[in-house]
Chain A
Amino acid sequence: MSQGQTGAEQRLVTPGMVIGPSAGKRAGSGIVTAEESMIATQLGWLREQNNTVSIDPINAAYMPRSGDLVVATVAEVRNNLWFMNINGAFQGLLPMSLAPWKVEFGAARQHMDVGNVVLARVQEVDECHNVVLTMKGVGLRRLNQGTVESIPVQHIDRVRGDNNSLLQRMREACDCRIMVGENGRVWIDGDADGIAWARMALQMVAQDGHSKAFETILSEMEQTTKGDA
């Protein structure tokens, strides 16, 4: 059984597996009901909380939702907008009206060019997966320094911990600024040793996140001094 899980009941389920009768229970994410039975639709850990049965998927694609904080990369520039890679199935669109600067028509490239990294928020997602981003808001900005590391989307909550407790612990351990995007991208800024330490911890999450709790990974990493990472 995975040590990376918490909760009452945890077992690995595969698509199509009948979990039990649906009577009196609500189907959460990853579950469908058919003929009064609950059926798993994804590979993951079964979780039951507050009478709702759901699955914590082992692998999942990032599906943007309105309000998500994301670390995005400029993929294309047009006269009046930027197409941003948000690590999802579709690119996000950042119009110049939602940029933090006053941008003249045709001058978008002067503010941000292909490859630039930004901290943005998902403004709107429609039913056809068109994503509109905004950089108007507190803390949303172009990220001019630091590095970006990727972790699986399904491990983000584990990296954060309750009330960001584990994330804060990691920030203090490596003495870096760290922002975790909902899209699985983590921005790290600090001294070189600190960045290397944080990247190694996040790479361990990507590698062993399905079998090991992030707290365990952090405890192991804290035995390593920053220079050794």
Chain B
Amino acid sequence: MGGYGDVQLLNDDGSRLDGRKLDEMRPVTIEAGILPAAEGSAMVTHGLNVAVAAVYGPMEAHPRKIQRQDRAVIDVRYNMAPFSTSDRIRPGFNRRSREISKVTAEALESVVLVERYPRSKIRVEIEILAAEAGTRCVGITAASVALADAGIPMRDMIVGVASGKIEDTVVLDLDKAEDNYGQADLPVGILPNTGEIAFLQMDGDLSLEEYNLAMEYNFKAAKEIHEIMVDALRRRYDGGEA
């Protein structure tokens, strides 16, 4: 048992407090094209998390100093709404949102064919309406669907998933209590078709065996979420047919 003493995160029968199995993720729903003003948009609910992403552009990059002569820049703004958590969040950018915006932009730049749009900017807005652990992963998933919806060329979509460790046990998709009182968290951005990793962060310690198991859970969840992403785009444009 790790650093939080008496906090019990697993039931006596080994299941989790919300009844999920160790390798079971929270329910995910995705809707594409929800914002008429944006070029592409998506809303993702993942457990109690709700994220909305909107994509604008490609447009001329301003200020000019951010322009790249050979490619587009991806400008991501991740923001948590003041009402997204039980404690009110002070509106505006903070250190955490800056960091998540940066890693999200770098992850998306690795899949978007940025060389098609020199000197341009693709603006991605991610708004977290409700937060319950794992919002950076939900934001990346939403941004990926919104980019596809906007017709931005990409070599693959990115799925954001996370595993972690609670009570010395590796589990998939930490909820709020598990995230707050657990021992480790491993959010990953996975390209489901190629199996590549676009971003990876780790908070806490995992042994090699635990890391491998966590990644196994993450890849399994990424495939499931990817199917939901594709289904959302099909529902939007093809009436749900394959």
Contact = CB atoms under 8 A, between A and B. Distances in A.
Interface of A: 1-2, 11-12, 14-18, 30, 32, 34, 39, 41-44, 57-61, 89-91, 127-129, 154, 210-211
B20 interface: no
Contact of A16 (B57, B191, B242): B191
A21 B41 CA distance: 32
Interface string B217-242: 00000000000011001100111011
Main secondary structure of the interface of B (DSSP, over half): loop
B60 A16 contact: no
Contacts of A17: 193, 230
Contacts of A2: 237-238
B143 interface: no
Nearest to A154: B151
B120 A129 contact: yes
Interface string B2-22: 000000000000000000000
A34 B113 CA distance: 14
Contacts of B57: 61, 89
A136 B193 CA distance: 49
10 contacts: A11-B242, A12-B233, A16-B193, A18-B193, A34-B155, A42-B151, A43-B237, A59-B150, A59-B151, A60-B151
A119 B62 CA distance: 28
A34 B150 CA distance: 24
A15 B39 contact: no
Interface string B192-221: 111000000000000000000000000000
Interface string B138-178: 00000000011111111111000000000000000000000
Assign chain B's interface to a size class.
35 or more
Contacts of B111: 15-16
B120 A89 contact: yes
Contacts of B153: 15, 30, 41-42
Contacts of B155: 15-16, 32, 34, 39, 41
A59 B119 contact: no
A175 to B, nearest CB: 31
A222 to B, nearest CB: 25
B181 interface: no
Contact of A15 (B59, B154, B237): B154
A129 B72 CA distance: 11
Given A14-B230, A43-B237, A90-B60, A61 B151 contact: yes
B118 interface: yes
Contacts of B150: 59
B237 A58 contact: yes
A128 B69 contact: yes
